[in-house]
């Protein structure tokens, strides 16, 4: 309940910690607002550093064991942080970093397991369900954490109830989720038994030459840039728009009584749920017409989101209703891509390095995307304000104009997915070639009969994408 999960690679909506819990934490540990913001920096930093490590482990060792380790890390860190003395606030920051490390395991490995259990339309549906429940789970975590704090009167119980639910999730993972051989869905585990295992550097070189992966990763980075800036600045932008319209008084002293953060959060969750479903369903249907359906859907949604976002910003000083409508449309179109992008990666990357591919996409998306976009947007806004009169209207207009770069960035993302479409069929064919899915020792020991057992209902053939 203390951290939000970035939307790029886990598809959860950007947001912030529940205000009540965060304020209690600040008072308990006597930390300032800037130090409180550092909690999120520590979380993201550890996630970025850990993602390549878990990608490497997930491609070479038991993915089920690695996922279990990740769940134990973040649940154990969350539980232990509730017992930290106020004299050791640095330990609380360290626990946030361990939570980020555990989260990295799930972000990189879980989609690859789904990719080896399902193919074609089934894979698209399952990925859509997976990405739908990320914002739902995040929202429920906020609600449950706040409710437990209110009932018990102690914020620490908000951190103690979550590990109980995570223990249930770990048990279900161990009991119910199989650990399929890499490439089981394409039956490559049957065709290729034996052969040397590639090194991490060889995997990275292969991904650098896989243009579908490269261009789709840049497209995801553009999406992350925009969602990161929106998640950080949109509530303030909407608050100041209300002030400019005379619907709300300016805030000169905290706390500021505003419902804009709540409205934007609800808007993000709803559009995220609907968008993921629409994107996955459009991909499933359009793939029957065109083999390049997935990147074309991503490109079309981003190119349509760009003018929606632009109009939402331009119309804000004139009519708030229209601004909200176009903002919702823009977020809806952005959300259409999360499950589709994951499906693209699984179809163009050979099974032996899908975990590494997920990790690299997460790392690049965060570093070049949402890690810097809030700062860059604020920097442009401050530069614009420096040459203007110091008035509330001019501060609002400076923030509005700094936001406009997001509309152009998202259009560039659409162009990246158009370039992905040019290389998609070739890279998919290479990923399906016999001999490209080199199994590790676990896959060598897997028998053909187990691969058949894992796929009784998919009706897949070796030629299935």
3-state DSSP of the chain? CCCCCCHHHHCCCCCCCCHHHHHHHHHHHCCCHHHHHHHHHHHHHHHHHHHHHHHHHHHHCCHHHHHHHHHHHHHHHHHHHCCCCHHHHHHHHHHHHHHHHHHHHHHHHHHHHHHHHCCHHHHHHHHHHHHHHHHHHHHHHHHHHHHHHHHHCCCHHHHHHHHHHHHHHHHHHHHHCCCCCCCCCCCHHHHCCCCCCCCHHHHHHHHHHCHHHHHHHHHHHHHHHHHHHHHHHHHHHHHHHHHHCCCCCCCCCCCCCCCHHHHHHHHHHHHHHHHHHHHHHHHHHHCCCCCCHHHHHHHHHHHHHHHHHHHHHHHCCCCHHHHHHHHHHHHHHHHCCHHHHHHHHHHHCCHHHHHHHHHHHHHHHHHHHHCCHHHHHHHHHHHHHHCCCCCHHHHHHHHHHHHHHHHHHHHHHHHHHHHHHHHHHHHHHHHHCCCCCCCCHHHHHCCHHHHHHHCCCCCCCCCCC
Distance CA 451, CA 456 (A): 9
Whether 1 contacts 18, CB under 8 Å:
yes
The whole-chain average pLDDT of the chain stands at 77
| pLDDT tens digits, one per residue of 21-40 | 665 676 778 776 556 556 76
Q: What are the structural domain ranges in the chain?
A: 7-250+259-451
pLDDT of residue 368: 86
CATH code of 7-250+259-451, in short, is: 1.20.1250.20
Residuewise pLDDT in 10s, the chain (465 residues): 443 333 333 333 333 343 346 656 767 787 765 565 567 667 778 888 888 888 888 888 888 888 888 888 888 888 888 888 888 888 888 888 898 888 888 878 888 888 788 876 777 778 778 877 766 666 566 567 667 777 887 778 878 888 888 888 889 888 888 877 776 655 544 434 444 567 888 888 999 999 999 999 999 999 989 988 887 778 778 888 888 887 777 765 544 555 666 677 778 778 888 888 899 889 888 888 888 999 999 999 999 999 999 999 999 888 889 999 999 999 899 988 888 898 898 889 988 888 888 888 888 888 888 777 877 888 888 888 887 777 778 888 888 888 898 999 999 999 999 999 999 999 999 887 755 544 443 443 444 434 344 444 444 343 343
For 80-119, how does the pLDDT look when each residue is reduced to its tens digit (9 = 90+)? 888 888 888 888 888 888 988 888 888 788 888 887 888 7
């Amino acid at each position: 309940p203390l951290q939000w999960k970035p939307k790029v690679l886990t598809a959860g909506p950007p947001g912030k910690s529940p205000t009540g819990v965060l304020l209690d934490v600040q008072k308990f540990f006597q930390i300032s607002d800037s130090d409180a913001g550092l909690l999120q920096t520590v979380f993201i930093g550890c996630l970025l550093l850990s993602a390549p490590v878990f990608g490497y482990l997930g491609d070479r060792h038991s993915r089920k064991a690695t996922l279990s380790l990740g769940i134990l890390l973040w649940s154990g860190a969350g539980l232990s942080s509730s017992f930290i003395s106020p004299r050791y606030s640095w330990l609380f920051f360290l626990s946030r970093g361990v939570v980020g490390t555990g989260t990295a395991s799930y972000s990189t490995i879980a989609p690859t397991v789904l990719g080896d259990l399902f193919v074609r339309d089934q894979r698209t549906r399952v990925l859509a369900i997976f990405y739908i429940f990320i914002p739902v789970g995040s929202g429920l975590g906020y609600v449950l954490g706040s409710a437990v704090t209110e009932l018990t009167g102690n914020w620490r119980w908000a951190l103690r109830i979550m590990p109980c639910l995570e223990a249930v999730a770990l048990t279900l993972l161990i009991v119910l989720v199989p650990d399929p051989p890499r490439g089981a869905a394409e039956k490559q585990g049957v065709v290729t038994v034996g052969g040397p295992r590639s090194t991490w550097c060889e995997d990275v070189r292969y991904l650098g030459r896989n243009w579908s992966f490269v261009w789709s990763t840049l497209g995801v980075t553009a999406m992350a840039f925009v969602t990161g800036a929106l998640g950080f600045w949109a509530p303030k932008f909407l608050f100041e728009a209300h002030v400019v319209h005379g619907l709300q008084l300016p805030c000169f002293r905290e706390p500021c009584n505003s419902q804009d953060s709540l409205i934007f959060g609800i808007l993000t969750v709803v559009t995220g749920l609907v968008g993921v479903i629409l994107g996955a369903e459009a991909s499933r249907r359009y793939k029957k017409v065109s083999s390049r359906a997935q990147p074309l859907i991503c490109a079309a949604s981003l190119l349509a989101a760009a003018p929606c976002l632009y109009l939402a910003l331009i119309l804000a000083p004139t009519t708030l209703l229209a601004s909200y409508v176009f903002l919702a449309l823009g977020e809806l179109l952005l959300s259409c891509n999360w499950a589709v992008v994951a499906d693209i990666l699984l179809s163009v990357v050979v099974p032996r390095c899908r975990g590494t591919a997920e990790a690299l996409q997460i790392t690049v998306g965060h570093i070049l995307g949402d890690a810097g976009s809030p700062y860059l947007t604020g920097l442009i806004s401050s530069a614009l304000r420096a040459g203007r009169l110091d008035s509330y209207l001019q501060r609002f207009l400076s923030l509005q104009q700094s936001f406009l770069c997001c509309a152009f960035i998202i259009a560039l993302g659409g162009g990246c997915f158009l370039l992905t479409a040019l290389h998609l069929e070739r890279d998919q064919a290479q990923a399906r070639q016999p001999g490209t899915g080199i199994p590790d020792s676990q896959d060598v020991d897997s028998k053909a009969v187990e691969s058949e057992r894992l796929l009784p209902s998919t009706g897949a053939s070796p030629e299935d994408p």
